[in-house]
Amino acid sequence: MSYKKLLTVQDISCVGQCSLTVALPILSAAGHETCILPSAVLSTHTAGFTGFTFRDLTEDMPAIMAHWKKENIAFDAIYTGYLGSTGQIAYVKEMLQTLGKETFTSFVDPAMADGGKLYPAFDAAFVEAMKTLAFSADFILPNITEACFLTGAEYRESYDRAYIDGLLARLTDAGAKTVILTGVSYGEKTTGVAVWDGKTHEYYEHRKIPKNSHGTGDVYASAFVGAYLKGKSAYDAAGIAAEYTVRCIENTINDASHWYGVKFEPQLPFFMQQLA
């Protein structure tokens, strides 16, 4: 498999095992040259810490893009995670149009909501801007809440296969090409990932861990992107990323002092083995 050069755009939480501090090592472990564009720098992530620092880097993005264009730098893939504003979304859309090689792949994790609600920093205008980005990408990786905001569908805590099928169809009708829908659970002890390319619906089921852990969405999305670019099918990449994420949670669940993220680093050899 060729050596891929990819760009990931998301924030840096200096402490907290999420966003770029997760994406960079996981994608590098997958064997890809991983370039980064920080959207913001925070001293820690915002879930559970107080008094954290925050520096918005939106104003730096145009000059960085201009320099890359001057140097004829282009990427095999672009992968976006948490974006903090509609302005950043606009810049990322420009990147997708101008910084990709002749053949490249785009991945958007529309990280903006969970549990039926938007994250506190976001509003309806952000959702509308995210729609334009998500539906221009080759792959989107929403959870069920994000899929509902992207399509206007009713959010449900309890649902069946027909509801998920309908949600996937709505995403396709809105412009999605391939959907990796996470957190799809049809039972008390299992959860999984629905993979939908507009024609075929595959479902990867795995054990459910009764613990919510910060940053696992970033772990999953990064592992999926890394596996797919390594030549795995979308379904296989979805399964590899799921099993890796579960192992990361299990590796952390008994350590109460490590409440702010998951110990994903010791499980990287497992991830790399699955890609071999």
Grade residue 115 by pLDDT with cuts at 50, 70 and 90: very high
Tokens of 242: 């799921």
**Considering only CA atoms, which of 106, 193, 114 is closest in space to residue 147?**
114
The dihedral built from the CA positions of residue 7, 13, 19 and 21, taken in this order, carries a sign that is: positive
The dihedral built from the CA positions of residue 92, 96, 101 and 107, taken in this order, carries a sign that is: positive
pTM of this prediction?
0.96
Q: What is the mean pLDDT of residues 233-259?
A: 95
* pLDDT value for 162: 96
pLDDT tens, 187-220?
888 999 999 998 899 999 998 887 778 899 999 9
CATH architecture for residues 5-270: 3-Layer(aba) Sandwich (3.40)
CA atoms within 13 A on the CB side of 235: 8
CB 201 within 8 A of CB 166: no
Residue with tokens 């810490």: 49
Give the start-to-end residue ranges of the domains of the chain: 5-270
106 pLDDT above the threshold of 90:
yes
DSSP string, 172-192: HHHT-SEEEEE---SSSSEEE
Grade residue 53 by pLDDT with cuts at 50, 70 and 90: very high
Q: What is the mean pLDDT of residues 89-116?
A: 96
Q: How, if at all, do strands 139-140 and 100-108 pair? A: parallel
Measured CA to CA, the distance from residue 63 to residue 103 in angstroms comes to 25
Neighbours of 255 (CB within 10 A): 10
